[in-house]
Chain A
Amino acid sequence: MGQLILVAEDQQHIRNLIEYKLKNSGYDVVAVEDGAAALEKARELSPALIMLDIMMPLMTGFEVLASLKNDPHTKAIPVLLVTAQSKEHEVLRGLELGAEDYITKPFSPNELAARVKKVLLKHTAT
């Protein structure tokens, strides 16, 4: 049916919101709370896109990103980073590590959906 998106976000209300919006936009969504679970689900489900919050406890988004790109099973999956307050160095570091795109908090759910669509389109085209 719809493409599968994996969302990793520790704050519950944001997680709910993103899940709701993406489901409304026609995707299937699996949402997890932390980095370790994200890695596990990524390997297990091979989603079409992974949305990754940077500020997570225990394992930061960067660490998860690095792991994803090191693992042959998951390195092809495009990653969309969610960063706080447009910290430039965070964004650059994320892109360097291999993230496809990023969105900053506070964010507009409509814009989020648009970004997701753009990344997926670009990725399936290549």
Chain B
Amino acid sequence: MSLTFLIILALTAAITFLVVMAAVSLVIHKNAVARRQRIQRRLTEEYAVALTEMLMTELPSLPATAPSSARFRQYESLLEPIKKQLQSLSRRRRRIHRTALLEVMLDYAQDLTGEAADRVVYAAYSLDYVQELIAELKSRQWYSRAQAARDLGVIGAKRAIGGLTAALEDDHPDVRFQAIQALIVLVGADALRTIFRVGGRLSTWNMMGLSVIVLRFKEDVVPHLIEGLYAADQSFVLFCIEMLAEIGFVSAVEPLRRIATDYPNVVVRAKAIEALGRLGDERAEPLLLKNASNPYPVMRLRALQALRKVGSPAALPVLEERLREGPLEEKIAAARAMARTGREGRTVLERMRKEEGTLAAAAAVQVLEELSIGGSA
């Protein structure tokens, strides 16, 4: 009995000791982090001043025929004081300083364009930051890889394009997304071609983030999106369909029609149907009407929802059939589409409402009510 007891006591003491150590080291760690942050803040202020000088110092202008190396020599001379300062430090302190300097450079890189931005990019290369970050793209920690991808994009380091392209196939979704973002910043809309070819596995969440970036290019991105409709990775096809619908590029109607008919996956076909509706082009109407009786429920629903934006009185017979026969979701979608067709549609709804007790009538009533509020219909 007493031996087991001693063992238990020893185990307990050991675990307690470990837990106490963990708690204590956490507190110490927090304090160390806080102190480091204070130092970092002071350093960023100092380097902000130094970098401002580097960026803003007037340089003698060069003739138009001068090679870029002449320019770079000028920039290099501006970097002298910073380089000398960094070299004079011990290895450990240099690392802290370099982190602060990088933070400042990233801030400036984000907000500047023109010649000042060129200087920032040059400094990033000359101070070996680009090299370091490209190496970080292979770090074991996903957040280091993601951070490196982001920073390379912000700085504008074109040399990193190869490494970033490889990162498009990273295991971690956040790394892949940062790589996509960085490539778009570095190369512009043309990056999409590579992205669609190499990358993949975009979640809906990623699509939303990417759409914000891509939409900034407005019409310039459309040719890439149309090309992307043929991407091998399905998530990109969905993304391109979504983007074309949102941009409202009506010439996409043809390729979208083909996808709605021929693409092997029903989710993608349904998405194409939805997009056709959002594009609001009446040429899509026959296809939508046909799909309102598609055997797949998701196709029918999307077609009905799309008809809300594209439907004409010619659609009424099909819509009425769906209002009577379909499940509730389809009834409501059909009723809303009817309302949109104008007076004829509303007449049909009033007629349906009289068939009291049926679900179809209830749907008609709800939609008529929505119209009167001036709300969703």
Q: Do chains A and B touch in the complex (CB under 8 A)?
A: yes
Task: Report A's interface with B, CB cutoff 8 A.
Answer: 11-14, 16-17, 20-21, 24, 85, 105-111
Interface pair B114/A13, CB less than 8 Å apart: no
A23: nearest residue on chain B (CB-CB)?
Answer: B56
Chain B residues contacting A21 (CB-CB under 8 Å) are 56
Beyond A12-B48, A24-B56, A24-B58, whether A17 also contacts B114 by CB under 8 A is no
Chain B residues contacting A11 (CB-CB under 8 Å) are 107, 111
Q: In the complex, which residues 89-111 of chain B have their Cβ closer than 8 Å to any Cβ of chain A?
A: 104, 107-108, 110-111
B108: nearest residue on chain A (CB-CB)?
Answer: A13
Interface pair B55/A106, CB less than 8 Å apart: no
Least distance between A45 CB and chain B CB atoms (Å)? 23
Least distance between B121 CB and chain A CB atoms (Å)? 13
A107 touches which one: B53, B55, B107, B113 (CB < 8 A)? B113
Which has the most chain B C-beta neighbours within 10 Å: A21, A106, A111? A106
B112 touches which one: A12, A16, A85, A108 (CB < 8 A)? A108
Interface pair A108/B107, CB less than 8 Å apart: no
Chain B residues contacting A110 (CB-CB under 8 Å) are 114-116
A106 touches which one: B49, B52, B56, B113 (CB < 8 A)? B113
Question: Is B117 located at the chain interface by the 8 A CB criterion?
Answer: yes
B111 touches which one: A14, A24, A111 (CB < 8 A)? A14
Interface pair A109/B112, CB less than 8 Å apart: yes
B110: nearest residue on chain A (CB-CB)?
Answer: A106
B105: nearest residue on chain A (CB-CB)?
Answer: A13
Interface pair A106/B115, CB less than 8 Å apart: no
A-B contact list, 9 entries, CB within 8 Å? A13-B48, A17-B52, A17-B112, A20-B56, A105-B111, A107-B111, A107-B113, A108-B117, A110-B116
Interface pair A108/B115, CB less than 8 Å apart: yes
Q: In the complex the two chains form, what is the Cα distance from A21 to B107 in whole Å?
A: 17
A17: nearest residue on chain B (CB-CB)?
Answer: B52
Binary flags per residue of B52-73, CB closer than 8 Å to A gives 1, else 0: 1101101000000000000000
Chain A residues contacting B56 (CB-CB under 8 Å) are 17, 20-21, 24, 109
B53: nearest residue on chain A (CB-CB)?
Answer: A20
B216: nearest residue on chain A (CB-CB)?
Answer: A85
B107: nearest residue on chain A (CB-CB)?
Answer: A13
Q: In the complex the two chains form, what is the Cα distance from A11 to B48 in whole Å?
A: 12
Interface pair B116/A13, CB less than 8 Å apart: no
Beyond A16-B52, A17-B52, A17-B55, whether A109 also contacts B107 by CB under 8 A is no
Chain B residues contacting A107 (CB-CB under 8 Å) are 111-114
B104: nearest residue on chain A (CB-CB)?
Answer: A13
Interface pair A108/B111, CB less than 8 Å apart: no
Q: In the complex the two chains form, what is the Cα distance from A31 to B110 in whole Å?
A: 21
Chain B residues contacting A14 (CB-CB under 8 Å) are 111
Least distance between B2 CB and chain A CB atoms (Å)? 67
A20 touches which one: B45, B52, B114 (CB < 8 A)? B52
Chain B residues contacting A17 (CB-CB under 8 Å) are 52, 55-56, 108, 112
Chain B residues contacting A20 (CB-CB under 8 Å) are 52-53, 56
Q: In the complex, which residues 199-231 of chain B have their Cβ closer than 8 Å to any Cβ of chain A?
A: 216
Least distance between B269 CB and chain A CB atoms (Å)? 35
Chain B residues contacting A105 (CB-CB under 8 Å) are 111
What 5 A-B pairs come out closest when comparing CB atoms?
A: A108-B114, A106-B113, A20-B56, A13-B48, A108-B113
Interface pair A108/B58, CB less than 8 Å apart: no
Q: In the complex, which residues 17-56 of chain B have their Cβ closer than 8 Å to any Cβ of chain A?
A: 45, 48-49, 52-53, 55-56
